[in-house]
Amino acid sequence: MGHPPRPESIMMSAMGVVVSMLRGVNVGSHNRIKMDELRSLYESLKLEDPRTYVQSGNVIFRTKEKKEAVLAARIQKGIEKKFNCRPEVILRTAQEMRKALAANPFAKRSDIEPAKLLVTFLAAEPQAGAEAALERLKAYPEELHLKGRELYIYFPNGAGKSKLPWSSLEKLFKVTGTARNLNSVTEILKIAEEMEAVMQLQLEFFGVGG
């Protein structure tokens, strides 16, 4: 006869792994945030097992909160209170990160350097007609592809040398976003999937969710 499920296992069965990406953190002398302090903040906000990747404000954690807007607002308010800055908070579930990586329009090309491919994660899906307008934008030699809430941009000469009119893109989409190169996206997803695997093992150990 099996043991009754422990309360914490029931709680974890309702949790999901979420990635938060902060816009404009630790760029130059502005919005300076130490990652250990950021992890502590997330813990204080009742977000489970927060882990960070590099210094640009990528935090992977577990949460029971299902409403994206509510979660983003909670994190943003917490950051503003503790660090006196208010960066945009872009959220994706682990599954959404998998889909974003799988949808990479450059995946089958052998000439692509991952560090030069940026994925911009948008806060919302752009208005109708944005993709057609994007095709009319003079962006050579950059290549741009919009897929849902992700904008994929390849910079053959590197983003630092690009003359791509970022302000025009902001006005075109009328939504905010934050970009990560393909290497970072891959590593962030790796951490998220490791956390998912641990959660699954815990659920199986406590006999819940099968």
How far is residue 166 from each of residues 38, 130, 154, measured CA to CA in Å? 28, 15, 14
pLDDT one-digit tens code per residue, 169-182: 777 888 889 999 99
pLDDT of residue 9: 37
d(CA 194, CA 88): 26
Q: Which domains does the chain have, with CATH numbers?
A: 7-95+185-206 (3.30.70.1280), 99-183 (3.30.70)
CB-based burial label for 36 (10 Å; 0-12, 13-18, 19+)? exposed
pLDDT of residue 92: 97
The answer to which of 59-73, 119-133, 194-208 has the lowest mean pLDDT is: 194-208
pLDDT of residue 163: 83
pLDDT interval class at 208 (50, 70, 90) = low
d(CA 42, CA 83): 13
pLDDT one-digit tens code per residue, 72-108: 999 999 999 999 999 999 999 999 999 999 999 999 9
In this model, does residue 147 exceed pLDDT 70?
yes
Q: Report the interhelical angle of 35-44 vs 68-83 (nearest 10°).
A: 120
pLDDT of residue 201: 85
pLDDT of residue 20: 98
pLDDT of residue 13: 41
Average pLDDT value for residue range 139-152: 92
